[in-house]
Chain A
Amino acid sequence: MFHWKKLGQVFRPQEVSGVSWLQEFAQAPCVLHFPDFLRVYFSCRPPADEKGQYVSYSAFVDLDRKDLFKKIRLASQPILTLGELGTFDEFGTYPVSVVRNKDKVMAYYGGWTRCESVPFNVAIGAAVSVDGGQTFTRLGKGPVISYSPDEPFVMSGPKIRRFNDQWVLFYIAGKKWIDHQGRPEPVYRIRMARSTDGLHWEKLNKDLIEVRIEADECQASPDVFFANGKYHMFFCYRHSLNYRGKEGGYRIGYASSSNLIDWKREDEKAGIDVSDEGWDSEMISYPHVFEVDGTVYMFYLGNQVGRFGFGLAKLEGELN
């Protein structure tokens, strides 16, 4: 079992004032390294509209590389606009995952649209930054990864990685919508696609992680980190229904692989769980593992899936 030492909350959206598009939530943190600081992308929301519906934006906060609790600056605007009328990302850009590509930064993100019979649908878009990741321009009005016979809806949670000259995108795809007391709830699993250029993707068309807690287990945030000769995936999972509280809510799971395709799930090794009290006492989710100057850290979300921001844990020992 790994040992993660919780260091506390790094970013709380409630502490930000005067920013209309950043009132609630700081979800799905993702790191881009700079020499003196870490740029941490996250997704946030203005208040809900009169119908209770949200839109989501993505932004960043820069943290001092020597003290990850010290904030240097906050993005002055969202990194990406919402999509045009009728496009896949008209109502949200969440979550976002970035990677450097020569002197540019590429972002992959979940684009949200609203539907009639179910509340939403999601497809994966791509955008590029030529200013060091401060602002991004979408590559096209449509998604780069969309629906297919085996991945019919809710394509979200992209995590972009580059391993051995190959672009690898981990993401989730919907399996079914459960009509639960008139409220549709999606079931989704972790999937993967590969590319040689980051634009043209070949789907593996396989669930990477077997279910453990129930047949309709929902899995998200497939965060893959290479260390000590193998691939480590931290992800989160929850029950399909009644997941908004502690009992059925998100927990962090773990799997490892030597080839990116065959994964061995061992949640008991994850080494991080909900706290007895406080901001992460009911659920923990959306892990992101990264290394800074020889130390491995994890950002993660707490109660209500990031409504109150994200926190930091430090690995004690090795990932092996």
Chain B
Amino acid sequence: MGSGLPSWRVNSIEVYEGIKKGKIFDPSEHPELAQFVGYAQSPQALVLDDRVRIYFSIRKSDSGGKFLSHVSFVDFDLELRGILGVANSPVIELGKLGTFDEHGIFPFSPLKDGNRIVAYTCGWSRRGSVSVETSTGLAVSHDNGLTFSRVGDGPIMSSSLHEPFLVGDSFVRVFNGVYHMWYIFGIRWSCFENEGPPDRVYKIAHATSTDGIHFTPNGKAIIADKLHEDECQALPSVIYHTGLYHMVFCYREAVGFRKEKSRGYRLGYAYSSDLLTWTRDDDRLGIAMADEGWDSEMMCYPHFFSCSDEWHLLYNGNEFGKHGFGLATLVR
């Protein structure tokens, strides 16, 4: 690491009637998305020849009033200054009755894998004693990322002996011919408060593969807790830059995170030289919560990517991305 903290230029782009500091996409401003009830969660970029396609999860309500997350996208120009278009319909159907992704896909992580475009999905299915179970699925696109089909009705990575539930948030990159997956797994469901349903604790882990399909989990958390053992860590995103691997992720308290600003999601950072050990150093990320506005209460679901020789960070703000996502660009 060089001396001093990285510096980020928080993007300002014109979105219809005004300038929104940092925020580059608000789902409520696009009539194509009127069929949904809001949210544009976990923005993740696929850089194409003439555009940057940013996938996100957006919600519908089902007949029982519960949310279903669908995957959509918005296309930006390569300079990320203007919107070229918004998808009219989800890029992948939700799973069949009883499957792991029947009740939503969130997040959705695209990867240009040689000549193929694939996506690692986090499928949601509802449970009886706890609210949900998640697993990682794989989907393939044959039309440049407009639509995706899953490789099977089941997941490629699910609960295992030492990762008993809530496997998800998978992010895959190929370094030196090896597929590296960073993901999360649940370590505990607890009734932290007397009233209310059980809440979960989850951690970031790492698995590798030679084919991008068969990953071996190792059941170990790789990022040190900053808060305490009930810290929840989510959505790891990794880039290689200036000789180091850099990970940005988000973390929060296990309870009270929905309402209390001090307990909600914020961004964390770690770096590694060998992909085996990671040094956590959140302060080095150099981007902090705003005093006011759309990202003043929480920052979550970050995504690193590069485009046109610049490094960018996408992220969600308040209410877990209900009102869209923002962009920051690395200046130094």
Contact = CB atoms under 8 A, between A and B. Distances in A.
Interface residues of B, number: 39
A176 B161 contact: no
Contacts of A186: 98
Interface string B140-172: 000000000011111110111111110000000
Interface in B217-246: 219
SS class, residues of chain A in contact with chain B: loop
Interface string B99-137: 110110000000000000000000001111110010101
A141 B128 contact: no
Contacts of B186: 86
A210 B204 CA distance: 42
B226 to A, nearest CB: 25
Contacts of A184: 97-98
B35 to A, nearest CB: 22
A148 B125 contact: no
A269 B103 CA distance: 45
Nearest to A90: B129
A142 B200 CA distance: 15
Given A140-B161, A151-B154, A117 B97 contact: yes
Interface in A123-162: 123, 126, 139-144, 146-154
A143 B217 CA distance: 13
Given A90-B129, A114-B127, A184-B97, A142 B162 contact: yes
Given A86-B186, A121-B98, A179-B97, A148 B156 contact: yes
A118 interface: yes
Contact of A117 (B125, B160, B162, B200): B125
Contacts of A177: 96-98
B154 A150 contact: yes
B38 interface: no
B138 interface: yes
A87 interface: yes
Contacts of B97: 117-118, 176-177, 179, 184
A113 interface: yes
Contacts of A121: 98
A152 B138 contact: no
A144 B165 contact: no
Nearest to B137: A149
A149 B138 contact: yes
Given A85-B198, A147-B155, A153-B99, A142 B128 contact: no
Contacts of B7: none
A140 B300 CA distance: 31
A138 to B, nearest CB: 9
Contacts of A86: 127, 129-130, 133, 164-165, 186, 189, 198, 200
Given A85-B129, A86-B186, A149-B138, A117 B152 contact: no
Interface in A64-119: 84-88, 90-91, 113-118
A117 to B, nearest CB: 6
Given A114-B129, A117-B97, A151-B154, 9 more contacts: A91-B129, A116-B126, A140-B160, A140-B161, A144-B160, A144-B161, A147-B158, A149-B154, A152-B153
Interface of A: 84-88, 90-91, 113-118, 121, 123, 126, 139-144, 146-154, 174, 176-177, 179, 184, 186, 199
